[in-house]
Amino acid sequence: MSGMANQPTSENLRRKPIWIPPWGYAEGWMIVSGLLMVGFALQLAGGGLPSGVLAWPVNLYTALIFSALLTIAHLFGRSVPLFAWLGRVPATICSIALITFLVLIMGLVLQDDEAAAPWVRRLGLSSMTSSWPFLLGLILFLSTLGMATLKRMIPFRWRNTGFLLNHLGLYIVVLGGLMGSADVERRLMELREGELVWHATDRAGHVYEMPLALELIRFERKEHHPKAALVETGSHRLLSESKADLFEIDSDIRGHLGDWEIEVHRFLPLSMPVGDRYEPVLDVGAGPSARVTAVHTGTGEKREGWITCGSFAFPHRLLELEEDTALAMTVPRPRAYRSQAVLYTPGGTPETILIEVNKPYRVNGWTLYQHSYDDRFGRWSRTSIIEAIRDPWLPVVYTGIFMMLGGAVYLMFRGRKLIIPNTGETTRASV
């Protein structure tokens, strides 16, 4: 009985003084607060993280040394209160809360905003991913995740396989993403028809020679049909009462906009003005037009004529309905666009490729994305902007993701095996 009296109870642990092992939530919130204060102090003193500080091969050495230190701390530092705390639930909850808090700041404060208030920029709130508080938060999260994983890994037991796949996979994903962020290269290649381009620029305007070249054959853009809308005659602003009634224009279609019933008699996807009318053409600069009739549902007044959103080759045209109201055609929204180009690589044979939105092309470690085009000319643009991205750490991140998927599948099938035949009862899995 005396021995039991000397054993600590949960009530005694809750009332224990701070910083007396084992550490719990009180110490955890103080550590989190301290990391935030240190992070913001470093941010105020020296600005954000130095550019390229974790570039190759420093990031590889840092990842290996960090993981080795966690392993050594787990094997030989269990008596140290900090190391023991990192592997416990309070540390996990506190680190997740810290990361969640920083991510909320990212969601509430516009990132990479040059117009942000000076104090927002100085604290790094508009550039969280490259700030000291975010780095320290990720280090704490990785430390707790790594120590929790090592507790189940050493000594190894087969029943912990699912846990290890999930947690080790997450560790690899976060560590790989953090270490590889400095090695990501983003370049923009501005292509023009018939020109061979082998250079690119970054967001700061620096010019780089690429290990590949592109020659644009043609740019193609597919469009949705334009919509009919009511606008103010002078300002051409869309009337709020008609926003919910906008309808796509097509031949032989009817719709209602405010107090007006609209009938489209003829729709020309590509046309040019010929006198007071429009005729279908396929020339560069052609744009959509429509012959319409508008009837006021209350008074029966009737208006008839052509409307068009125009293009760079000819102006838009409205159909005046009332003194301050007109019927207009909106600019067609792009449905899809792509670039057909010839790709040249060192020692390779030139090949014709297609680069579409959401369908990038991969070559020699680079991923080519359809980024944008010269929107002044719309579908007739002869300029295409291709974004070339190289992320050498992406295979590491994918490895972690596949490990997490494998862990989920393992736990799913293991859970099925835990069902006791003929009873439907389940046993509690020790993971």
Q: What is the pLDDT of residue 291?
A: 97
**For the segment 197-208, what is each residue's pLDDT rounded down to a tens digit?**
999 999 888 999
**For the segment 124-174, what is each residue's pLDDT rounded down to a tens digit?**
898 888 899 999 999 999 999 999 999 989 888 888 899 999 999 999 999
**How many angstroms separate the Cα of 374 from the Cα of each of 31, 218, 225, 335?**
51, 13, 20, 16
**For the segment 330-340, what is each residue's pLDDT rounded down to a tens digit?**
999 999 999 99
Pair of tokens at residue 429: 């899995």
CB 131 within 8 A of CB 40: no
Q: What is the pLDDT of residue 428?
A: 43
Percent of the chain with pLDDT over 90: 68
Model confidence at 417: pLDDT above 70: no
Q: What is the pLDDT of residue 429?
A: 42
Model confidence at 426: pLDDT above 50: no
Model confidence at 48: pLDDT above 90: no
Cα–Cα nearest to 169, from 411, 391, 365, 362: 411
Q: Could you tell me the pLDDT band of residue 415, with boundaries at 50, 70 and 90?
A: low
Q: How far is CA 261 from the centre of its chain?
A: 42
Q: The tokens 């719990």 sit on which residue?
A: 24
Neighbours of 249 (CB within 10 A): 25
Residue 57: left (phi > 0), alpha (psi -120 to 50), or beta? alpha
Q: State mean pLDDT over 50-79.
A: 90
Q: Could you tell me the pLDDT band of residue 420, with boundaries at 50, 70 and 90?
A: very low
Q: State mean pLDDT over 297-319.
A: 94
